[in-house]
Amino acid sequence: MNVSLPLMKLTARFIRHIPLKLTDRIALCLAQLFHRFSKKGRNTISINLRHIFARGDISSLELRRYLKNTFYNYARTMVDFLHLGSITPDEFSVEMRGLHNVYDALRHGRGCILLTMHIGNWDYAGSYLATRGVPMSALVEETRPEMYEFYKMHRERLGMQTFPLSRAGIAFLHTIKNNRVLAVLGDRDILGNGTTVDFFDGRRNIPRGLGEIVIRRQLPVVFGYMVLHPGHGEHRYLGYIEKPVFFSGTADEFNEVMVNKFEWMIRQFPDQWMLFQSDWVA
């Protein structure tokens, strides 16, 4: 949301002392401001939504509602990310489905790749799994040093280990050697050297080389997500992890399966796909 580091630090200290319902109201106000004044953000999310609903099965009114909800959901997840600096393991509010699938994958002793995307709250998910005894690691984007260290502190405070994308090779070796879970966000080519694939009715770049590593090393893969709970019930988040799968064949076949999974996830929660970067390939 392009919030400066001092403001984020101030917000992180402030929200420790106020009820969650009030922080959500604050998040709503911030989201409304961001939605109103960020023309670039509105355009990017609108383009994403038009690709998701390219079949025309949505009204203009629903499209506008999804657009506004995306800003609100992003603000709420950012508040929850900042809470990671002070939250205790017992304060997580998650309806978790399929957690046993991670342990099933680790029984092979080769490590496990948790494939997810920029949907819901991926940092909250990694910290939650770490507090449940999962040996979690994650590949993360490298931002400017001060911001990177701030994010790193929040991400690692509850036990998750992080590796910058520039050390992806080391992260995979560490995962295999120590039989850990490595979370990878596969829906965006952050390094700029990715592979172009069909995505909904358009084209996007995804990280290069992931399929080759998974297939060559015969690493079990679990697909999963953690989203703001659509039921608005007892739990704030809904987490889901699929059964582990092994891939053979080609990297292109791996990419096709991955993209199909991602498209399915996005269609379930279109206003929780938190990508404010224009990464569609012309």
Query: Are the CB atoms for 84 and 123 separated by under 8 Å?
Result: yes
90, two tokens: 């017992």
pLDDT digits 0-9 by tens, 104-154: 999 999 999 999 999 999 999 999 999 999 999 999 999 999 999 999 999
How far apart, in whole angstroms, are the C-alpha atoms of residue 214 and residue 131? Answer: 26
pLDDT above 70 (res 1): no
Average pLDDT, the chain: 94
Cite the beta strand spans of 117-160 per DSSP E: 136-140
Which of 150, 30, 176 is closest to 81 using CA atoms? 150
How far apart, in whole angstroms, are the C-alpha atoms of residue 179 and residue 109? Answer: 6
What pLDDT does residue 14 have? 85
What pLDDT does residue 149 have? 95
State percent of the chain over pLDDT 70.
Answer: 99
What pLDDT does residue 254 have? 98
pLDDT digits 0-9 by tens, 20-59: 889 899 889 989 999 999 999 999 999 999 999 998 778 9
Name the strands in the sheet holding 94-97, side by side, starting at the edge strand that comes first in the sequence.
94-97, 237-241, 221-228, 112-116, 181-185, 136-140, 161-164
Query: Are the CB atoms for 180 and 137 separated by under 8 Å?
Result: yes
Structural domain boundaries of the chain? 5-272
